[in-house]
Amino acid sequence: MPTLIVLRHAKADHPLGVPDVERPLAARGRRDAQVVGDELRAADRVPDRVICSPALRTRQTLDGLRIDAPVDFEDRVYDNDPGAILDLLRGQADDVKTLLLVGHNPSMQRLVFDLTGGPGEGFPTSATAVIEFDGDWSDLWPGAGRLAAYWTPRGR
């Protein structure tokens, strides 16, 4: 049973004059990223592959997780189009059992909602959703997933 972990990047800073793609994490974001990594390890949900937006804040979030897995940096995740991201996920190799996706809102919330029907109340920074589904990655369609876990570092 494949597992998709959807993670919205941790809290970012908004320095004046810095392009969006180069926004760094705030101090709270660095702390939250470590908490998410600890939670993934504690729940035995360490991914064997990662897809990450190339934005600085998502790369820094990934670094803070302290996860050792192959990473693909994908412009399609930064482009924030849920349909394009779903196509990217469907193209994953069948030997990938647990995949971590690190990206941005609104597409991370939309993806979780489309696949599972929840959480509809919001998807704050560092929100993490664990989605399980039957079949292969190519079978990942709206409504195909089950929300196995959802948390935010502030909710712990």
Q: Tens digits of per-residue pLDDT, 47-78?
A: 999 999 999 999 999 999 999 999 999 999 99
pTM of the model: 0.96
- The Cα 76–Cα 112 span in angstroms is 17
Bridge partners (DSSP) of residue 147 are: 131
- Domain span at 15: 1-101+135-143
- The Cα 26–Cα 94 span in angstroms is 36
Give me the DSSP letters along 37-66.
HHHHHHTT---SEEEE-SSHHHHHHHHHHT
CATH number assigned to the domain comprising residue 47: 3.40.50.1240
Return the pLDDT at 63: 98
Q: Which of 52, 87, 51, 49 is nearest to 69 (CA)?
A: 49
Q: How many domains does the chain have?
A: 1
Would you say residue 111 lies in a domain? no
Would you say residue 110 lies in a domain? no
Please check whether residue 124 is in contact with residue 96, taking contact to mean a CB–CB distance below 8 angstroms. Answer: no
Would you say residue 113 lies in a domain? no
